[in-house]
């Protein structure tokens, strides 16, 4: 009998093409100690911006966080 794969809690890095920028922005999606899904990405000036996707988009897994991040960039350019 085949075992079901367990969802992973490893951080995921995705590159998203943002209009007006020559290269893709790297977004790291991970869980914090409280279990919230967080996206960490660079903003202007090289500082990093952390957004709680559990509170903003209702993401409970890293896969849901990846989808929420991609959907946000599709809608907002």
- Whether the pLDDT of residue 2 is over 90: the answer is no
* Per-residue pLDDT band at 1 (split at 50, 70, 90): very low
Task: Give the global pTM.
Answer: 0.75
Structure tokens given for 31: 């869980």
Using the predicted structure, report yes or no on whether residue 6 has a pLDDT greater than 80: no
- Tens digits of residue pLDDT in 15-65: 887 777 777 788 899 999 999 999 998 776 777 789 999 999 999 999 999
| Higher-pLDDT residue of 53, 1 | 53
């Amino acid at each position: 009998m085949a075992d079901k794969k367990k969802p992973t809690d490893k951080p995921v890095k995705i590159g998203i093409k943002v209009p007006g920028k020559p290269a893709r922005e790297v977004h790291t999606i991970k869980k914090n100690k409280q279990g919230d899904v967080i996206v960490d990405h660079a903003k202007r000036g090289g500082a990093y911006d952390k957004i709680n996707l559990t509170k903003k988009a209702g993401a409970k897994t890293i896969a849901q966080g990846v989808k929420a991040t991609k959907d946000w960039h599709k809608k907002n350019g």
